Structure 1
Amino acid sequence: MGLFDGKKGLVVGIANDRSIAWSITQYLHQEGAEMGFTHLPDKDPNRPKNENKVRKLVDPIGAKFLVPCDVTRDEDLDAIFKTTEETFGKIDFVLHSVAFAPPQDLTGPVHDVSREGFHVAMDISVYSLMAMAGRARPIMNPGGAMLTLSYLGGERVIPGYNLMGLCKAALENAVGYLASELGRDGVRVNALSAGPVRTISASGVADMKKMTQMYEMFAPLRRNIEVEEVGKTGMFLLSDLASGITAETVHVDCGYNAMGAPPPDAYEKMGAE
């Protein structure tokens, strides 16, 4: 028997086969989960690029539905949770993998972020989790779980992460409040903070290559993570194996978050270069 046999859930935010949400989804599927999915709306309905990218991944694993969702639109959020309830009745998990900031605001310094860019980034990256939690609560089984994705830039200053760091800080704080509120219904809420993974979202972050090199030198395991490691941990946090874990930000970063200074051999490597 799989850990998710008989369990049903909603996955929001798969963009392509490099998405962390897709890695988590594959492990959920292996353990028997039934899932519905969303995709970014396509500008041209006659050329559904976003839908086709996600459909190519989720149809072979038996997706119960695939619907468009713009998380800035309450009508879209209402529609996906209506579809979820009509399809499954009650659900056991929600995976939230949504983040965005306008490129011009993301790549520039925080002090120069536009008011509109800040609003858009927080709306999509943070408020969407809160809005989904409110809609998921009435149809979530006791023992259910919600999971969102974060990064160390929400806890520490990571040059180049900029505006998204502010969003992740707010997101992780929201996880705690949501965990307190939904905990009365037996529902857990956690965040998974992964090391650098080359996703569409990460492609907009400056100095991504340098971030990866830093992990390889400074992390206790002296390497960066593999996306499969994030996938397995995400599946674990949504499973009954993590029944006592809520309001947490769980790091999957080879220990990088624990380091206050580079290990001695990192200095040697930097000297050699």
Structure 2
Amino acid sequence: MKYVPDATGDRHFEGDKTVDRVGVDGLLSELDEYAVEQALQIKEKAATPDDVEVIALTVGPEQAVDAVRKALQMGADKGVHVLDDAIAGSDAIATSLVIAKAVEKIGSTDLVVCGMSSTDGSMSVVPAMLAERLELPQVTLASVIETQGDQVRIKRDSDSATDVIGATMPLVLSVTDQSGEARYPSFKGIMAAKKKPLETFSLGDLGVEADQVGLSVAWTEVQETTERPPRTQGEIVTDEDGSGAKALTDFLASKKFI
């Protein structure tokens, strides 16, 4: 799961042209909430749900623990937060390395569930990179997920068709925002989350060197940023003689909306 800046807040870049993730309000990425929901549903539908453990994993600054807590409140059993200052500025390649090492440290993982993308980077590549690093099959962009024992079958929708794909655990799965609305934490879930285990890993705990991550080794770079211009006053269309509809149509056409 990813801790991202709140889209309704004042998002901006820092001096090194990385997104400010500390000085702004953040939250669990909405697209990753669907991944949490599907993980919980897979547990609930299992033959012996008590034998299934859902672990919420995030990589990010100190505030990112709030994303883990949200997942615990939704129903996850345990939380893991990878926290290390050296990770700041990492691209998808380095991020996938850290996540893979964290999954390996957790051990005995049958299914790694990811969102289809993050709401800040929107790259959609980490699940595939993660599968490669873990040497696991991947079934991605699932809108429908069915499980039976160690078998997983998904439906993936495209513009022209729906693909049905099957695989055997262990594997990496990513889900879309069409997979099912994420549940809201109940009061009981919020209170129960306070007693659930939450572990913190550093890069040293994972066996990852600081020079393998961070902005200095990123394969991508933001070269220039420009502040969004302030919103200007809209144009008022009056309809005193019945010409308002035409004026509105002309305005929309000039903006290429129609």
TM-score, with length taken from structure 2: 0.36
TM-score (normalised: structure 1):
0.35
Please state which structure has a larger fraction of its residues in strand: 2
Q: Which has the higher Rg, Structure 1 or Structure 2?
A: 2
Q: Which has the higher contact order (CA 8 A, sep 6+)?
A: 2
Decide which structure has greater helix share: 1
